[in-house]
Amino acid sequence: MSATAGGGGVGRVLKKLAKSVQDGNYYEAHQMYHSVCQRYLKQKKFDDALELLHQGAKNMLEHDQLGSAEDLAQRMMDIYDSEGLKVDDKTRARVVDLFQDFPLRTEQCDQYVRMCLRWSAKHSACPAGDPLMHHAFGSRYYKEKQYYDAEYHFIYGTTDSAKALGHMIWEWSGEGYFPDRGYFIARAVLQSLVLKKIHHANITFETFIKDLKANDPESKGIPLPFKPTDASTPEVFLYKSSLINFTQFLLLCVQRKAVEQFTSLKNQYRSVVGFDSFLVHMVDKIGEVFFGLGPKKVSNPLEDMMKSLFAPPPSALGHSSQQAQILEMD
């Protein structure tokens, strides 16, 4: 039980309700959690209400009452949202603590994760959700070998997430899902690049390569006669895996803003990447994001005519131009 709720009436209520859950009176306890929460909200005791719901959900999870736990968690997140609580150490800790108790690969856990990320996206500066929260989620998924879920959260996480992702990719690539280990590092790096996380992409790749060299000396690669122009450019190796080579060269193209080399690389490795539509899509998105190589818009004569008919008057052209720039940035 939380120390913050250990004193006064709140502590007594929590003990009483925990005893009710322990005795198997799940429905009664569930209703009482909501009733007491409502009373606290009317009294503007928001922290007490949140602690009640948090502990209530944990008690329900301890007794495998997933539906009741999810419902109480939903109420907690609704209060987070309605009261405009920002993402900080305290609010994040409560969210992550409850996540650790939800059994993975259940509908209730998946729904809870979506609720948390939706709140953190709304009440932080990160549209994809709080990076530290993503890191906590990803770390647990990784620990329980839920690699796809871990990959997603690590991609949106912190620099520590990027390093953990590199280690996880090495482990994941050895599970026998696909014969070429390079497929998994390509997935991770390309997704990071689409999000313009060049630093994270490099950390992930370098961590993976370190594990590769330490655990599979035969695949460590042959140095290429390439002289870096500055100290920040890593030495380039040629690996047995074409996908590892492609990923390495792609990182260099993005870092150097080398559009011609990117186009050449894309054409040369078309058959290597083309077996997987996801990788193909990621490469195309990287071309758009870094080099402006998006698909050309096909002219539609009817659409052009309608636009000319309903064009704004000259006085409004300046405003329309600003809107167009915003749309282009989007």
Q: What angle do CA 319, 325, 327 make, to 5 degrees?
A: 105
Q: What CATH number should be reported for the domain whose range is 145-296?
A: 1.25.40.10
What is the token pair recorded at 15? 């003990």
| Alpha carbons 149 and 167: distance in angstroms, whole number | 15
With 0-12 / 13-18 / 19 or more C-beta atoms within 10 angstroms meaning exposed / middle / buried, residue 285 is middle
How high is the pLDDT of residue 232?
60
Q: Enter the DSSP assignment of 5.
A: G
| Alpha carbons 147 and 161: distance in angstroms, whole number | 13
Three-state DSSP state, 2: coil
Express each pLDDT in 132-150 by its tens digit: 999 999 999 999 999 999 9
How high is the pLDDT of residue 319?
41
| Alpha carbons 187 and 182: distance in angstroms, whole number | 9
With 0-12 / 13-18 / 19 or more C-beta atoms within 10 angstroms meaning exposed / middle / buried, residue 199 is exposed
Spans in the chain with pLDDT lower than 50: 1-7, 305-306, 308-330
Phi, psi angle pair for 267, to nearest 5°: -70, -40
| Domain 1-129 shares a fold with domain 145-296 | yes
With 0-12 / 13-18 / 19 or more C-beta atoms within 10 angstroms meaning exposed / middle / buried, residue 244 is buried
Whole-prediction pTM value?
A: 0.84
Q: Write the DSSP string, 153-173.
A: HHHTS-HHHHHHHHHHHHHHH
How high is the pLDDT of residue 302?
55
How high is the pLDDT of residue 5?
42
Q: What CATH number should be reported for the domain whose range is 1-129?
A: 1.25.40.10
How high is the pLDDT of residue 294?
76
| Alpha carbons 280 and 105: distance in angstroms, whole number | 29
Three-state DSSP state, 237: strand
Express each pLDDT in 149-174 by its tens digit: 999 999 999 999 999 999 999 999 99
| Alpha carbons 153 and 165: distance in angstroms, whole number | 9
Residue with tokens 């140095």: 223
Contacts for 158 with CB less than 8 Å, ≥ 6 apart: 131, 132, 134, 135
User: What are the domain boundaries of the chain?
Assistant: 1-129, 145-296
